[in-house]
A and B are shown apart, each in its own frame.
Chain A
């Protein structure tokens, strides 16, 4: 709406062409309305980056037949390639028969170096900025297991410190998981090998599960996750470490892309003192069976909650 040109002014016969109060208010209201509409729509421009129609119309994970799954995996590979410039290998690994995973962590050995935290970040394509980490290493004074006294922000020059021990906490893969019960859309569930997984395409981001978890194991993508291109891990799985988007939950999944292919999790392999042990509890020859049989396995963290974790902490004799 521009001003009237000056030559249209004729003082003697302008009463019908002059700007009346009504026209002025009407045009002003129309302009401000249009501006407000444009402003309210502007966030939509960012949406185009990560939600495709295919993804929006995708069926529930458990209802996908193998052909549809193959298409979904292709779509994810395409999306990742567009976003990060590398061709990933995305699989949908299923749980194996006769396998139930258990994790054991030796508190006598752990030195609190946090290498597991960062190996996990690298393996699972976790957001670097803002920072998301699945593992927290708690520093606790000797003689107590009161997690209220724990510090996970310690910045000492050298670890371990005298008089303290370190307890890394991550998803405990509970046998009775409270997070699964509260999910209103069944976007998270427990698989037959004991891993509680999340379908990132089904999650609505309500964060009920985060509130339900007594271990603070679940993380929410408040902002668009940022993974540097040069550090993207191309070995991905649908329920595991494929890139997440803003507004969904994520958590430790025992490195599903490695463990369901028979390998050890990344946090275990990087541990410089061998404090972390992982394996199939149904196999009596496995390391975890040996530990539960031979060692002083003293704790399932917060076992009074009745969650029955598959994550065991133990001490040396």
Chain B
């Protein structure tokens, strides 16, 4: 057996050294790549854009007369006798379908309170004798600030719920010993002339762990 082992030739030794150098270099490069963690790391999850802050805003979307007065904003819209004459109730005009024909000064109003035109009379709420007040169904004369009582004179059960904090938005403290329950007025959410809450754009849908940021795919879970 021993006689089979030949002393390596010079060329053979040089070849061995080259191979060893190449193997060492390969391992060093691989070690470098491992330390840099170029593989083995999970693929980066798609970057999800931050949601628009409008979806985080708890502020009501309408301001009532009370809010405007508190913020000392322009109340000229509520100064009826800036245009109308006192003691001269404005005449309501109707078309043949019993829709109110709005004068151009009031064209910003959208009318839709009650279905089938049953509530197409301005003076169901506004007081024709004194335009800067309301008249409730029970005959009370109410100031603009007291609009919730006006709404309550027709919408009794809803008003009762609202008083209990059950209808409408609340904020603040459930524990009344620590702070106040804040309720909003009817007109903070409902347009009195068209109370149905308008449709709106929803916030973006959820995304799974590896779903692309561009659009949702239905998940099975």
**Which residues of the other chain, A, contact B71 by a CB distance below 8 angstroms?**
none
Contacts across chains A and B counted by CB atoms under 8 Å: 200
B45 and A31 form a contact (CB under 8 A) = no
Flag whether A19 is at the interface (Cβ < 8 A): yes
With A42-B34, A131-B48, A154-B205 in contact, is A262–B179 under 8 Å at CB?
A: yes
Q: Bin chain B's interface residue count.
A: 35 or more
Flag whether B199 is at the interface (Cβ < 8 A): yes
Main secondary structure of the interface of A (DSSP, over half): loop
Bound-state Cα–Cα, A157 to B203, Å: 10
Bound-state Cα–Cα, A131 to B173, Å: 30
Bound-state Cα–Cα, A4 to B164, Å: 91
A179-224 contacts to B, CB under 8 A, are 216, 222-223
Bound-state Cα–Cα, A214 to B165, Å: 31
With A42-B40, A128-B50, A262-B174 in contact, is A291–B166 under 8 Å at CB?
A: yes
CB distance from A110 to the nearest CB of B (A): 11
Residue-by-residue, is A150-186 near B (CB-CB < 8 Å gives 1, otherwise 0)? 0111111111100000000000000000000000000
B221 and A216 form a contact (CB under 8 A) = yes
Flag whether B156 is at the interface (Cβ < 8 A): no
Q: Which residue from A3, A15, A270, A290 sits with its C-beta under 8 Å from B20?
A: A3
- Which residues of B approach A to under 8 Å, CB–CB? 7-10, 13-14, 16-18, 20-21, 23-24, 27, 30-31, 34-35, 37, 40, 42, 45-48, 50-51, 55-58, 60-61, 157, 161, 164-175, 177-179, 189, 197, 199-209, 215-219, 221
The 7 residue pairs across chains A and B that have the minimum distance between CB atoms: A262-B175, A262-B178, A114-B203, A158-B199, A39-B34, A274-B169, A3-B21
Residue-by-residue, is A107-138 near B (CB-CB < 8 Å gives 1, otherwise 0)? 00001111101110110000011110100100
